[in-house]
Structure 1
């Protein structure tokens, strides 16, 4: 098994780990509010940027990898936010199965 080395000092960006809380809007739908679950520190690395044209408009998508210290309860569908940015968590995995870190593949969204 290959162990991934990561300088713990690289995890210096303060982020808010948030979970969606759905509230009934009274009209058969819901309103999404984000509630902070924890404060974490992470390393944000850009992965890809794509631009698509559809329905008469340009749709841009930026994906990143955010590495944080391992903690229970981090899952797809949550988000990380900080420094006037927000990232929806798409996938979460332990890169070397050592139980030290979690790598989150995320998509940048409007905060």
Structure 2
């Protein structure tokens, strides 16, 4: 497989990378939360759209490919935030095995 030709200028979206940061609620449970790990430039590519009905409301799920510079600290379940939009990382891979970029397969849900 040859090297991926990606113009770094295509990474024009500023995203915050977040990881789970749960807090104890004082009663033996936890309060789910996220904490910012880094702010980075990325390329966002919409891939597919699915619609379903939940509790009599339509929910749209959009899958995306998000390209970022290579990071070793990525994990499934982390997420990207762009303003009010949330992209949950489902999987990720190095497209050409060179350690330059990572492509994240992400899901964004919208009510």
Q: Which residue of 2 aligns with 1:42?
A: 42
Q: Distance in 2 between matches of 1:37 and 1:57?
A: 33
Runs of 5+ in structure 1 lacking a partner?
none
Q: Distance in 2 between matches of 1:100 and 1:83?
A: 26
Q: 1:71: Cα distance to partner?
A: 1.4
Q: Which residue of 2 aligns with 1:32?
A: 32
Superposition TM-score, scaled by structure 1 size: 0.88
Alpha carbons 2:76, 2:89 under 8 Å: kept: yes
Q: Which residue of 1 aligns with 2:22?
A: 22
Cα RMSD over matched residues?
A: 1.7
Q: 1:23: Cα distance to partner?
A: 1.4
Give per-residue Cα distances to partners, 1:46-102, cap 9 Å, x unaligned. Answer: 001001235544332111110000012011110001133111111111011111000
Residue aligned with 1:9, SS? helix
The count of corresponding residues between Structure 1 and Structure 2 is 110
Residue aligned with 2:22, SS? strand
Rate the CA distance shift 1:18–1:94 in 2: closer, same or farther, 3 A.
Answer: same
Q: Which residue of 1 aligns with 2:97?
A: 97
Q: Distance in 2 between matches of 1:22 and 1:109?
A: 21
Moved more, 77-86 or 60-69: 77-86
Moved more, 1-10 or 18-27: 18-27
Alpha carbons 2:49, 2:63 under 8 Å: kept: yes
